[in-house]
Structure 1
């Protein structure tokens, strides 16, 4: 059979999705942090991004346990790296939105580790 006869299914990158206890809360945080709209929201799922572009998804998981990074007892499942121009100003803004600074800061002059409202570590980097 000719490969041209076999249609190739379209596969598009939609989102990186994080497990969490409250998708709406996490979507509000990342929407405000990144200046992106919430494009989809149900009781169990929310998506932040621009229509037609990849985004960030948040999926409700009953019994969700916050990552305990750097303690490996509940490992981080993934993390975001966000580029910033000013570490201190960006950290202050994100903390005001609901993030907290992680106790462990491996490279505080170049990168800061913060925890989102559901406990996922993410980095802001110069």
Structure 2
């Protein structure tokens, strides 16, 4: 029997938790469940994992594709081009280096964390 039952939250180090939570809230439509100067969190619903953001003094943004990146998030999207356009309008950036030969797109959030967009049709195949 496994010791760990369910992943509840992915916590992301950052410089400004409130601002980063606002970006992901707009991008995902998830509910803001907590917001304070040093911590903010989002939840899709009561069953799935949520995202939380915690202030780290001296935070340095990850560098894509190399550097101090520790993890990245993957999101499926129904329309890749539309999602990229919308996320860029919300403040994401699209780095020049794009692995995967067009199968997915790497973006970075406003505080430099990389995340990938994967077409929903590709993710299920």
**1:91, 1:32 → 2: CA distance?**
14
| DSSP 3-state at the match of 1:77 | coil
1:43-98 Cα shifts (integer Å, max 9, x gaps): 100001145342000000010000112122xx212111100121110000011111
Query: By how many angstroms is 1:102 displaced?
Result: 1.4
Query: By how many angstroms is 1:108 displaced?
Result: 4.9
Q: Normalized against structure 1, the TM-score is what?
A: 0.84
**2:55, 2:66 → 1: CA distance?**
24
1:19-62 Cα shifts (integer Å, max 9, x gaps): 00000011001001011111111110000114534200000001
* In the alignment, structure 1 residue 92 sits paired with structure 2 residue 85: yes
Count of paired positions:
116
Query: Runs of 4 or more off by more than 4 Å in structure 1?
Result: none
User: Does the CA contact (< 8 Å) of 1:39 and 1:51 recur in 2?
Assistant: no
- Which runs of 5 or more residues in structure 1 are unaligned? 1-9
| DSSP 3-state at the match of 1:89 | helix
**1:87, 1:108 → 2: CA distance?**
14
| DSSP 3-state at the match of 1:38 | strand
Look up the match of 1:115.
108
User: Does the CA contact (< 8 Å) of 1:39 and 1:50 recur in 2?
Assistant: no
Query: By how many angstroms is 1:109 displaced?
Result: 2.0
Look up the match of 1:62.
57
Look up the match of 1:42.
36
| DSSP 3-state at the match of 2:40 | strand
| DSSP 3-state at the match of 2:107 | strand
**1:36, 1:77 → 2: CA distance?**
24
RMSD over equivalenced CA pairs, Å: 1.9
